[in-house]
Amino acid sequence: MSIDPAWEAPEGSWASSAARRRNMQAIRSRDTKPERLIRRLVHAQGLRYRVAARPLSDLRRTADLVFRPTKVAVFIDGCYWHGCPKHYVPPKTNSGYWSEKVLRNFTRDRDTDQKLQEAGWLVLRFWEHESPVSCAQQIADIVYSRRAKQSNS
């Protein structure tokens, strides 16, 4: 689909311009660089997982990495989209819409965490700016620890 360069966003639209709209639509929701790097490091430690999978079939939300047998769901959150306390900077254009969008994402993230925890899952959340090596090590340590507890039960 091609957008006419002369197109102007209608009043109340989420995009302040056609260029901004194209830019925002090009942002990936999965397989981001931080996700791919962490997945590669976790895989190198011998762990296997599902990518962009629903931990709970009746919940329309996906985790970036899902370890079903140990019930561990991993999310790598983008600093802008999830409101990182260190790096989130409110946009200058259409700030009302984007601030509300980030707040909705944040609220949905907390709701997802609660629902997964109630179902017996461990939720791990990392920011995209965190060290991939450190994140991968934490994930591996927790998954291996939970596996050991399951086999001892």
Task: Clarify whether residues 53 and 69 are in a common domain.
Answer: yes
Pair (57, 101) in one structural domain: yes
Q: Which CATH number fits the domain that encloses residue 46?
A: 3.40.960.10
User: Which tens digits make up the pLDDT trace of 77-97?
Assistant: 999 889 999 998 888 888 888
The reply to whether 40 and 10 lie within a common domain is no
Statement to judge: residues 37 and 101 lie in one domain: yes
pTM comes to 0.82
Residues 1 and 36 in one domain: no
Highest mean pLDDT among 3-12, 29-38, 120-129: 120-129
51 in the same domain as 6: no
| Integer CA distances (angstroms), 6 to 12, 89, 122, 132, in order | 18, 29, 49, 42
The whole domain housing 107 covers: 31-152
- Mark whether 13 and 77 lie in a shared domain: no
Supply the DSSP string of the chain, one letter for each residue: ----TT--PPTT-S-SSHHHHHHHHTS-SSS-HHHHHHHHHHHHTT---EEEE-SSTTS---EEEEETTTTEEEEEE-TTTTT-TTT----SSSHHHHHHHHHHHHHHHHHHHHHHHHTT-EEEEEETTS-HHHHHHHHHHHHHHHHHHHHH-
22 and 67 both lie in a single domain: no
Look at residue 135 and tell me whether its pLDDT is greater than 70.
Answer: yes
Which tens digits make up the pLDDT trace of 47-86? 999 999 999 999 999 999 999 999 999 999 999 889 999 9
Residue 137 shares a structural domain with residue 62? yes
Predicted local distance difference test score (pLDDT) of residue 19: 66
Buried b (16+ CB within 10 A) or exposed e, 122-146: ebbbbbbebebeebbebbbebbeeb
Shared domain for 36 and 92, answered yes or no, is yes
Please count the structural domains in the chain. Answer: 2
Same domain? For 110 and 73 the reply is yes
